[in-house]
Structure 1
Amino acid sequence: MVSPPHEAMHRIFQHDPGLFSRVSRFLGVDIPTPVKATALPTDLTETNPVERRVDTLLRLETADRGPFLLAVEAQGKKHPDKPASWAYYTAYLWTKYRLPTALLVVCQDHATARWAQQPVSCGPPQLPTLTVQPLVAGPHNMPVITDPEEARADLVLASLAAITHAAEPDVGAILKALSTALRDAPEDIAKPLIEFTAQGLAKRPAKNLWRNLVAVDLSFYKSYLAEEVRKEVRKEVRDEVRDEVRDEVRDEVRKEVQDEALTQGEARRAAADVLAVLAERGLTVSEAVRERIGSCDDPEILSRWLRRAVTASTAEEVVAGA
Structure 2
Amino acid sequence: MPSSQHEALHRIFRDKPELYAHAFKMLNIDFPTPKEVAVVDTDLTEISPIERRADTVMMFTSLWGRKHVVISESQSQRDDRKISAWAYYISHAHIKFGCSVTLMVICQDAATARWAREPKPIGLAGHPSLVVRPIALGPDIVPAITDTAEACTDAVLTMYSALTHAQSPKVDAILKALDVALTTIDTDTAKYIAEQTEIGLGDTHARQIWRRLMTMQNYRFKSEFAEMLRAEGEARGEARSVLKVLERRGVPVTESTRERIMACTDHALLEGWLLRSLEVTTAEELFEGDA
- TM-score higher than 0.5: yes
1:8 matched to 2:11? The reply is: no
Per-residue CA deviations over 1:133-167 (Å, capped at 9, x if unaligned) read 10100101001101122112121111111000000
Determine the C-alpha separation between the residues in 1 that align with 2:94 and 2:70: 11
- Whether 1:220 aligns to 2:226 is no
Structure 1 partner of 2:280: none
* Cα deviations by residue, 1:179-208 (Å, 9 ceiling, x for unpaired): 100012111111111111111111100101
Cα distance, 1:172 vs structure 2: 0.5
CA contact (8 A) 1:142 1:164 kept: yes
Answer whether contact 1:21 1:32 (CA < 8 A) is retained: no
1:123 and 2:123 are equivalent in the alignment: yes
CA contact (8 A) 2:122 2:128 kept: yes
Q: Matches of 1:228 and 1:126 in 2, distance apart?
A: 55
Q: Trace 1:1-322 onto structure 2 (pairs within 5 A).
A: 1-64=1-64, 66-222=66-222, 225-231=225-231
- Quote the Cα distance in structure 1 between the aligned partners of 2:110 and 2:18: 25
Q: Distance in 1 between matches of 2:233 and 2:44?
A: 44
Give, as a single letter, the amino acid of the residue that structure 1 aligns with 2:122.
Answer: C
Q: TM-score, normalised by structure 2?
A: 0.76
- Distance verdict in 2 for CA 1:131–1:175, change over 3 Å: same
Structure showing greater Rg: 1
Equivalent residues of 2:162, 2:171 under 8 A apart: yes
User: Deviation of residue 123 (structure 1)?
Assistant: 1.1
Kindly tell me: are residues 115 and 57 of structure 1, through their superposed partners in 2, closer, same or farther at Cα, counting changes over 3 Å?
same
- Please give the alpha-carbon distance, in whole angstroms, between the structure 1 residues aligned to 2:87 and 2:53: 13
Q: CA RMSD in A?
A: 2.0
| Sequence identity percentage | 40
Letter in 2 for 1:190: A
Contact 2:117 2:135 (8 Å CA) reproduced: yes
Q: Is the 8 A contact 1:180 1:217 kept in 2?
A: no
Question: Please, which runs of 5 or more residues in structure 1 have no aligned partner?
Answer: 237-322
Distance apart, 1:66 and its partner CA: 2.2
Distance 1:235 1:130, change over 3 A: closer
1:19 and 1:156 in contact (8 A); partners too: yes
Query: How far apart, CA to CA, are the structure 2 residues paired with 1:121 and 1:224?
Result: 49
What code does the residue aligned with 1:120 have? Answer: K
Letter of the 1:145 counterpart:
I
- List structure 1 segments (4+ residues) > 6 angstroms apart after TM superposition: 232-236
Distance in 1, matches of 2:44 and 2:232, equals: 41
Q: Is the 8 A contact 1:24 1:30 kept in 2?
A: yes
**How far 1:65 moved relative to its partner?**
7.5
Q: Is the 8 A contact 1:18 1:34 kept in 2?
A: no
Letter of the structure 1 residue corresponding to residue 97 of structure 2: Y
Change (3 A) 1:111 1:208: same
Q: Which residue of 2 aligns with 1:272?
A: none
Going from structure 1 to structure 2, the CA distance change for 1:218 and 1:46 (only over 3 Å counts) comes to: farther
Q: Distance in 2 between matches of 1:156 and 1:207?
A: 17
In structure 2, the CA distance between the partners of 1:216 and 1:82, relative to structure 1 (3 Å rule), is same
Partner residue in 1 for 2:284: none
* Separation (CA, whole Å) in 2 of partners of 1:64 and 1:142: 30
For 2:6 and 2:234, the matched residues in 1 are separated by 30
2:254 corresponds to which residue? none
Tell me the amino acid that sits aligned with residue 86 of structure 2. W
C-alpha deviation, 1:234, in angstroms: 8.4
Give the Cα separation in 1 of the matches to 2:82 and 2:137. Answer: 16
Between the two proteins, the alignment pairs up a number of residues equal to: 236
| Change in CA separation of 1:25 and 1:65 when aligned onto 2, cut-off 3 Å | farther
* Alignment partners' CA distance in 1, 2:223 and 2:103: 33
Q: 1:21 to 1:155 in 2, by over 3 A?
A: same
Structure 1 window deviating more from structure 2 (212-221 vs 150-159): it is 212-221
- SS at 2:168 equivalent: coil
**In the TM superposition, what is the alpha-carbon distance from 1:83 to its structure 2 partner?**
1.1
Change (3 A) 1:233 1:48: closer
**TM-score normalised per structure 1:** 0.69
Contiguous gaps of at least 5 residues in structure 2: 237-291
| Residue 8 (structure 1) shift | 1.0
Does the 8 Å CA contact 1:123/1:130 hold for their aligned counterparts? yes
